[in-house]
Structure formats: C-alpha cells, structure tokens
C-alpha cells in the first residue's frame, strides 16, 4: 500500500503551516474473498479521517455517480443477444489517481517517517477517506475516456460508448470496477492498454463476478445469480436447515403496525431486510415481500420478524436461482404496470408494481407504496 502511495505521488512531507489543523489517518485491514468464498488476498489500506474535513476549506463537491443496476442488466442482455465480447477489469488503487485542488494536510501516518518534528503530509492526490475522493477519481477517469472519443450517456453518467463505422464498444463504471462490451476485440484491448498506462489495471477477462453478482455464460445466453450471498444469508440467520416456505409471504396474513409483540433486536431485523433488498437485484419475485417488510424498520414486531424469516426460507427452494438473458430474442422493450387500491391497513395508501423486459429478459422492476391516497381503483 505504501508503495502504491509513493508511486502515485499521493503526498509530500512539508512543515505544518500556521493556524492549520491536519486531519488524521488510520490503517484498515480487510480479507478479500473470491466468488466461491475462498480467500483471494489480505489487504491493508491507509485512509484519511475525512470526517475532520471542513466544507468550503478542505473540500467542495462530493457527489460521484455509479452505474445503475438496471443499466448493468440491460448491457448484459444486449451483449447476450448481439454476441458481444464481454470483459471486466479492476483499477488498482483507483482513488489515489484523483487530482486534489484543495490544500489538505494530513498527520504523518504509521510506517512513514519525517526528517524533523512538526511535519505533515500535504496531499497532492486523492486518498481513501477524503470526502471528495470518489468524485476526483470519477472526474479523472471521465476526462480520459472523453479524450479517447467515448461519449457519456445522459441517462446513466457511468455509461460510455464509442461508435466507429460498424463497430460499437460500451464501457460501464462502478467506482473502480469496469465492464467492457463490444463488437471489436481490438478496441477493447486498446482501451484496456490506455487505462493500464494511466492507472494500472487488473484484467479479469470474461465477466464472471461483478458487484456481488455471479455471471455465467452458456449456449442459451448469460445468467446472473447471488447463490453464495443467498446461502450465507440462510446460514447467518440460522435457517439453513429449516423447511422451505411455499410462498414469500403468507397470503392469509396482512402485515401492519402494532402487529403483535415488539421484536427486541431491531438491528437484526433491519439487517435481514437490507440483505433481502440486495437479493432483489436478481430475484424480482421477492420485491413485493421485501417492500412490505421495509415498512416496519423503525418498530418491528415478532410477526414482522417471522415474515422476514419466511421470505428467507422461501429462498431455500433454489439458492442459485437468478435471471437468464437469452441469446435468441428481439431487442424490444415491453413494460407491465399494476397497483392495488388502499392495500395498506395503516395508511390506506396503494402499492404500485412494475416490470420491464428487454426482449424476453427482465431488466427492471419495483414494488413501491404510493405517496398519496387514491380515491378509487382507477386513480390508484
């Protein structure tokens, strides 16, 4: 880690200017796992204590976009139908490449020595933990891609495309994880080389594991799932040996507030619902159940907890089930929408559900309670 910091010229050691309070730093240690759960490597990362930064002095803008999961799925669908090359890469120490315009001073971290007392690190490049770190990296990468002729999408600012006669290349960014898809392998290798020259990348080859999604390729097309994540959820919740539930929710029970004895471990309930929300990325059929459970995060009851456990037990039927993006399909967008009327027993608000298919592949869906009360089923 220190070698990477030195290679990118992250800081220079200077005397602390008068009336300046430096921010601190700390080392963070993490074990990185592969998609099958085995240890990939042990990581040590130096992070700045960005919570000590002062807005307008140490930082200004902080927002940085990431790829929408709908965009990820749509890109995989088009790549499957068109038979595109589909590769993945990871940028090493991405945040260290951002150029800092602000004057930010950091205390000298453990493992780094100085020649005299009262010296600090003046940050020249962005560092993990800084409030503007992700934005600086995004600006750096975006400017490079635009110089190379790529066009930024106005619908998803993390999607960049390049059209050259009969060739087409798409590049999708999620912080330091990048998907490359296109018709021309030469262009894919060319942009890989440019990114490697500027940032140093890890070429992961054909996409197999992206943002926690397990990606499998076959003659039928491309499939995505979260098998390991689902099995971990079953194990962590103690339901690995339980009987599978036939449906996500009990159709005879209508959940509402003050529904039984309060559940004492509120944080546990919130964790379970949060994990179920993440699983909806490849399991749209639990979206409604998860939406219902999300209404009670501030004050869950035993009834709500049992309902959450039922959804988890339903997943036990097939932990590896996900979405399949078939090759033999037309690229046609089809959407379906429906709503109940005054289905919420507490607020009498209605719930809307929608799903969109690109060809025969499901790419976008949602179940959400409406913000207003409808006076009729037609209005809902």
> Is 47 part of a structural domain of the chain?
yes
Residues 37, 371: Cα–Cα separation, whole Å? 41
Residue 339 tokens, joined: 């709503």
- At 114 the pLDDT is 85
> Is 249 part of a structural domain of the chain?
yes
Are 203 and 241 in the same domain? no
Q: Which of the two residues, 151 and 40, has the higher pLDDT score?
A: 151
- At 32 the pLDDT is 82
What are the tens digits of pLDDT across the range 174-189?
A: 999 999 999 999 999 9
Are 175 and 259 in the same domain? no
Are 150 and 263 in the same domain? no
> Is 379 part of a structural domain of the chain?
no
CA R_g for the chain: 24
Residues 222, 359: Cα–Cα separation, whole Å? 14
Are 200 and 259 in the same domain? no
> Is 189 part of a structural domain of the chain?
yes
What are the tens digits of pLDDT across the range 255-271?
A: 999 888 999 999 999 99
> How buried is residue 57: exposed, middle or buried, by Cβ count under 10 Å (0-12/13-18/19+)?
exposed
pTM over 0.85? The answer is yes
Average pLDDT rounded to a whole number, residues 209-237: 95
Question: How many structural domains does the chain have?
Answer: 3
> Is 151 part of a structural domain of the chain?
yes
> Is 136 part of a structural domain of the chain?
yes
Are 233 and 89 in the same domain? no
Residue 129 has pLDDT above 80, yes or no: yes
Are 200 and 249 in the same domain? no
Residues 290, 90: Cα–Cα separation, whole Å? 32
The pLDDT mean for the chain works out to: 93
Average pLDDT rounded to a whole number, residues 24-39: 85
Question: Would you place residue 316 in the very low, low, confident or very high pLDDT band (cuts 50, 70, 90)?
Answer: very high
Tokens 């039927």 correspond to 317
Are 247 and 123 in the same domain? no
> Is 163 part of a structural domain of the chain?
yes
User: Where a domain ends, among 189, 211, 233?
Assistant: 211
Are 349 and 303 in the same domain? no
Are 280 and 148 in the same domain? no
> Given the DSSP bridges, would you call strands 209-210 and 119-125 parallel, antiparallel or unpaired?
unpaired
Average pLDDT rounded to a whole number, residues 21-31: 92
Are 53 and 146 in the same domain? yes
What are the tens digits of pLDDT across the range 318-351?
A: 999 999 999 988 899 999 999 999 998 889 999 9
What are the tens digits of pLDDT across the range 193-202?
A: 999 999 999 9
Are 6 and 133 in the same domain? yes
- Is residue 171 within 8 A of residue 89, CB to CB? The reply is no
Tokens 């912080």 correspond to 175
User: Where a domain ends, among 184, 211, 238?
Assistant: 211
Are 177 and 269 in the same domain? no
- At 3 the pLDDT is 83
- At 143 the pLDDT is 96
> Is 380 part of a structural domain of the chain?
no
Q: Structural domain of residue 259, as residue ranges?
A: 225-315
Residue 215 tokens, joined: 């990606």
- At 213 the pLDDT is 94
Question: Would you place residue 37 in the very low, low, confident or very high pLDDT band (cuts 50, 70, 90)?
Answer: confident
Q: Which of the two residues, 319 and 32, has the higher pLDDT score?
A: 319
Question: Would you place residue 2 in the very low, low, confident or very high pLDDT band (cuts 50, 70, 90)?
Answer: confident
User: Where a domain ends, among 288, 315, 342?
Assistant: 315
């Amino acid at each position: 880690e220190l070698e990477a910091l030195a290679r990118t010229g992250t800081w220079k050691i200077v005397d602390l200017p008068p009336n300046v309070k430096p921010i601190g730093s700390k080392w963070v240690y993490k074990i990185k796992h592969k998609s099958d759960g085995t240890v990939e490597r042990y990581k040590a990362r130096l992070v700045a204590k960005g919570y000590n930064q002062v807005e307008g002095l140490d930082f200004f803008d902080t927002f940085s976009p990431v790829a929408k999961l709908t965009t990820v799925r749509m890109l995989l669908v088009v790549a499957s139908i068109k038979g595109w090359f589909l590769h993945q890469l990871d940028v090493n120490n991405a945040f260290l490449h951002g150029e800092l315009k602000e004057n930010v001073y950091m205390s000298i971290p453990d493992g780094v020595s100085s020649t005299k007392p009262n010296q600090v690190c003046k940050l020249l490049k962005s560092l993990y933990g800084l409030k503007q770190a992700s934005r600086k990296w995004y600006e750096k990468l975006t400017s490079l891609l635009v110089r190379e002729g790529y066009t930024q999408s106005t619908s998803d600012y993390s999607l960049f495309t390049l059209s050259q006669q009969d060739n087409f290349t798409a590049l999708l960014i999620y912080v330091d994880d990048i998907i490359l898809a296109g018709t021309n392998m030469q262009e894919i290798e060319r942009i890989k080389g440019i990114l490697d020259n500027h940032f140093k990348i890890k070429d992961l080859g054909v996409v197999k594991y992206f943002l926690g999604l397990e990606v499998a390729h076959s003659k039928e097309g491309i499939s995505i799932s979260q098998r390991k994540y689902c099995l971990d959820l079953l194990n962590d919740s103690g339901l690995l040996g339980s009987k599978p539930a036939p449906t996500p929710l009990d159709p005879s029970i209508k959940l509402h507030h003050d529904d039984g004895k309060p559940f004492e471990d509120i944080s546990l309930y919130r964790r379970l619902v949060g994990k179920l929300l993440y699983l909806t990325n490849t399991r749209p059929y639990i979206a409604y159940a998860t939406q219902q459970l999300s209404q009670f995060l501030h004050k869950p009851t035993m009834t709500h907890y049992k309902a959450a456990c039922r959804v988890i037990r339903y997943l036990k039927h097939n932990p590896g089930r996900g979405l399949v993006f078939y090759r033999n399909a037309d690229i046609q967008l089809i959407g379906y929408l429906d709503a109940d009327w005054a289905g919420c027993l507490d607020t009498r608000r209605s719930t809307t559900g929608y799903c969109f298919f690109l060809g025969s592949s499901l790419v976008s869906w949602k179940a959400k309670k409406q913000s207003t009360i409808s006076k009729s089923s037609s209005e809902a």
